[in-house]
Structure 1
């Protein structure tokens, strides 16, 4: 959970982007304000207010993070996360809850895929976000009923079996969930 101060003439989103880039090397295209944590008892020494953001990063971006003793990836159920300072576990739990809710009603899963993707790739993203396996047939049926994706005339090349069809997001090209980090 990288953190840092906001500069005197810097928006909150810009500060979050800068802090994430300077501590991890990550420059995600999706960054969203999560919540403001300011319980008076969250720090034993002084009153601290945290305006938390969460970012979505691709698998390729994860592998490109800065190598540093203070930068590491953990599964959300890793026991090491139970002993975090302050209310940091609460922040993680809230981010996970919010992400899981967003995947149910929004197109946030598409942020982790390329422009074209298979249904199996999309289902894998949903399963990772929701923390559970989904029935492939039900997933396909429910997803097609939403009309949020469109089949292309392209297929994924390679592999031993019949190549799967590629799909694309049916949106206008602008993700309504994306936050402009230049504004608060």
Structure 2
């Protein structure tokens, strides 16, 4: 099989490792092949691709959409990030739990995050080119988020000196969010 799929301790999260064909010229890989994903039991449908470029210490997140939740297949093309998904599915046995891992252009690993999760990452390398596929379209009026440094979530971000957007710096804490939105 051209991909290896690893189920993670939080239901719905997967690490996907594509087969990489390398030689003296470089490498080739299929970052997504619907047939291979379906054969592995991953039947999600993607409708939008996004890409961002960031410098070391930039932290983006923790983001989600409220009424139009998106599943995301995330990967790093160049560089390295610490990537985090937080379960915000009411009624889930892992509600409020997170899973974090390093994604890198060198490892070619991918992380699938289903709808119902908040997502964010911090750049560990000098720069990072980050790409992701989404299962629903972006709706700007539907944005939601959780403060990256929420003490209740206690995510062990590997960098503490980070740059966040003004909008992300004002996101609510998880406890407040539960009362008003979830």
* TM-score bucket of the superposed structures, by smaller chain: under 0.3
**Higher normalized helix content (fraction of residues):** 1
Higher relative contact order (CA 8 A, sep 6+): 2
TM-score, length of structure 2 as denominator length: 0.26
TM-score, length of structure 1 as denominator length: 0.26
